[in-house]
Amino acid sequence: MTDSNPLILYDISSPLEPRSYAPNPSKARLALSFKGVPFKTSWVDIPDIPAVRQGLDCPAARKLDDGSDFFTLPMLQDPASGRVIDDSFDIATYLDDTFPDSGGRLFLFPSDSPGTGLDYESPNKDTAFFAPLSLNQGAKNEAYASFNTHVDTTFSAHILLVAQYLPFNPDTAEAARALFVKRAHLSSWDDMSVKGEAREQLRMAFKVALTSLARLFCVHEAGPYMEGERATYADLIVGGWLNMLSATMPREEWEDFRTWHGGVFAGLHDALQENYFECK
C-alpha cells in the first residue's frame, strides 16, 4: 500500500462532499486518518449502495427487521491484497492488524490500554430498531465492540432529531427518502419530523441519556479523550456520531449541544476534527 496505490474508502455521497456525515463512514474515515494510511474516497449515492456492494462481492452483513438485506456503508478496499472489508469496526481492526507501524505506531486498540469506559452500558439498551446495530460478538477487541454497540444504541435512539435533515443528493433525494420510509415502516417522510414540544422533550431525553457516557470523558482531567491525551478507537466511535450531529443538526441546536455536560463532547469533537478527520 503506497500513495500511488491507496486504500479505497466507500462513503455515502452527499452535497457535503468531501466531508462524511453518516456515523459509520465517519468512524472509518477517522480510523484511516488516525493510522496515517494513504486512502482515497469512492462516493456512492444511497440508491446505488446495493449494486456497488454486489459488484465488489460484498454481501449485506445485516438484515432489516423484515428479513431483507441491509446494504450500507462503509466498505474498505485494499488493492494490494484484493480484500474488501465491511463494517466500520472490522475496518478499524484490519487497519491495526495490517498497518501496525503506520501513524507513528499509534494503535486504535492499544495493548496497554486500561480500558477506561469500555464497560459502558446504554440507558437505551432495550430499544428495538428496524435496522439492526452492529454487534461484532466474538470479534477481536470485543470490549471495544461492545462499547461500539452501546454507543450506537444511545445515539440511534434519538436519531429523529436529525433524520429529517439528512443531506441527500437532490437528484436522488426522493428515492433515498422512500427507502428510509420503507425501512422504518412509516407512511411518509413527514413522519420523520419532530417539532415543537415533542422535539424539545426528545432533546432533553437525549441530554439525560448521554450523562453516563459524558462522565467517561471526565475520568482523566487532561482530556479530551477517555484516556486523557491519548485517543483510542473508543473515542473515534463517539466522534463518528458527533460528526453526524455537527453536519445535520440545526445550527442553534448543535451550538446548544456543545454546551451539554460541561462541553466534553464539544472538546472531543473539536480535537478529532483537528487531528484525525481527513476530507478527501
Residue 59 is placed in which grid cell?
Answer: 454481501
The band of 133, judged by pLDDT with boundaries at 50, 70 and 90, is confident
| Segment 174-220, tens digit of pLDDT | 999 999 999 999 999 999 999 999 999 999 999 999 999 999 999 98
| Segment 61-120, tens digit of pLDDT | 888 888 889 999 999 999 999 999 999 999 999 999 999 988 677 899 999 999 999 999
Residue 155 sits at φ, ψ, to 5 deg, of -75, -40
pLDDT of 1 strictly over 70: no
Q: H-type helices in 36-109, by residue range?
A: 49-55, 88-98
d(CA 209, CA 9): 32
Q: What is the CA radius of gyration of the chain?
A: 18
**What was the pLDDT predicted at 73?**
96
**What was the pLDDT predicted at 79?**
95
The band of 137, judged by pLDDT with boundaries at 50, 70 and 90, is low
**What was the pLDDT predicted at 106?**
85
Burial status of residue 224 (CB atoms within 10 A of its CB: 0-12, 13-18, 19 or more): buried
List % helix, strand, coil for the chain (3-state, nearest 5): 50, 10, 40
